[in-house]
Copies of this chain bind each other. A is one copy, B any other.
Amino acid sequence: MIRAGIVGGTGYTGVELLRLLLPHPEVEVQVITSRAEEGERVDTHFPNLRGVCDLCYTAPDPETLAKLDVVFFATPHGVAMDSAPELLARDVRVIDLGADFRLADAEAFAHWYGMAHRAPEALRAACYGLPEYFREQIAQSRLIANPGCYPTAVILGFAPLLEAGLLHQDTLIADCKSGVSGAGRTGRVNLIVPEAADSVTAYGVSGHRHRPEIEATLSKLSGETIELQFTPHLMPMIRGIHATLYGRLRQPLSDAALQTLFAERYAQEPFVDVLPFGSHPATRSVRGANVCRIAVHQPRPGQVVVLSVIDNLVKGAAGQAVQNMNRLFALPETLGLTQIALLP
């Protein structure tokens, strides 16, 4: 059994990790930390776990964590970077669901997150945990930067086109719609029901931290410098990301060829589902499931629209983290991740 710990267990990615890890046949969650809730039972905060989780929150303790096989950081940026180096030194694998190791460039990190990177060496050793594109590197790594939710949806949707060099690299637009859980379990006025329900609003139009993450990854995959217009929107729903992706082809390509490109690229991927050409996936079709559903359109010749939906807390966070863990420990990648989406 893999002995696992979760640092920062009072947020939505923390409880979602528990939902996935508690029934996982090869994992035992031994530690879950929270300074604020130290000593309290986890299931008093998350009553869905009553009967399946007897854990109490503990204060994070380096010695305790060092005895585990893997530690998940479900923390705001700036936390994992301080603990990861020692854990790695003591042979504990680290999966950071926060942002500390997503941007390989420490300066870019400092620019976008407003703090110097305090573990640049670990940063160099980190692997971007998007299994569909970095599967081999993940297996050989010990520190995984779990991708952001928006980047997961956007990269999976754009990458087949960019790997193949098919798009003009300066025309990319990702118009993304996210459920409110993407903002975290935090009492901000703009997230309460009377503000965020029954309304739609864009935010961060002029710059959002997930943009450099997407641009860097897509640039890496395409071998070109990719510039993206990334527009996130807050949706009146709980879970789900719908990424509407726009690009222009460098040369004519038939609808069938476009579809084949995606179908073949993801044919062996258990967690990417390419719908028939011209489909319209709904976010509810992935609610609670570790899957990205993708549909391709070409409304006018040369103009490609890709629709990509995920559950931001599963394939966009906790599910992908478990997928990465399975890789790290040479388990079947789908182990513990076969939940069917809850519909309706």
Interface residues of A (CB under 8 A from B): 12, 15, 19, 22-23, 46-52, 171, 173, 175, 177, 179-181, 185-189, 191-203, 205-207, 227, 229, 231, 233, 235-240, 242, 244, 246, 273, 275, 278, 280-289, 291, 293, 297-300, 303, 305, 307, 309, 313, 338-344
Assess the A293–B236 pair: CB atoms within 8 A: no
Closest B residue by C-beta to A175: B175
Q: Are A305 and B227 in contact (CB under 8 A)?
A: no
The reply to whether B194 and A185 form a contact with Cβ atoms under 8 Å apart is: yes
Given A188-B192, A191-B193: A281 and B201 within 8 A (CB)?
Answer: yes
The reply to whether B233 and A199 form a contact with Cβ atoms under 8 Å apart is no
CB–CB B181/A48 < 8 A: no
Q: 7 shortest A-B CB distances, which residue pairs?
A: A199-B284, A194-B344, A48-B341, A180-B193, A201-B282, A48-B343, A47-B285
Contact B206 A299 (CB under 8 A): yes
B240 touches A200 (CB 8 A): yes
Q: Is A22 in contact with B340, judged by CB distance below 8 angstroms?
A: yes
A205-B297, A236-B237, A305-B229 known; A12 vs B344 contact (CB < 8 Å): yes
Q: Is the Cβ of A238 less than 8 Å from the Cβ of B194?
A: yes
Are B193 and A280 in contact, CB atoms less than 8 angstroms apart?
A: no
In whole Å, how far is A57's beta carbon from the nearest beta carbon of chain B?
16
Cβ contacts under 8 Å, A244 to chain B: 175, 202, 231, 233
> Which among B187, B242, B340 is the interface contact of A188 at CB below 8 angstroms?
B187
Using Cβ atoms and an 8 Å threshold, which residues of chain B touch A207? 299
User: Is A180 in contact with B201, judged by CB distance below 8 angstroms?
Assistant: no
**Residue of B whose beta carbon sits closest to that of A185:** B189
B residues in contact with A307, CB < 8 Å: 202, 205
Q: How far is the CA of A104 from the CA of B242 in the complex (A)?
A: 35
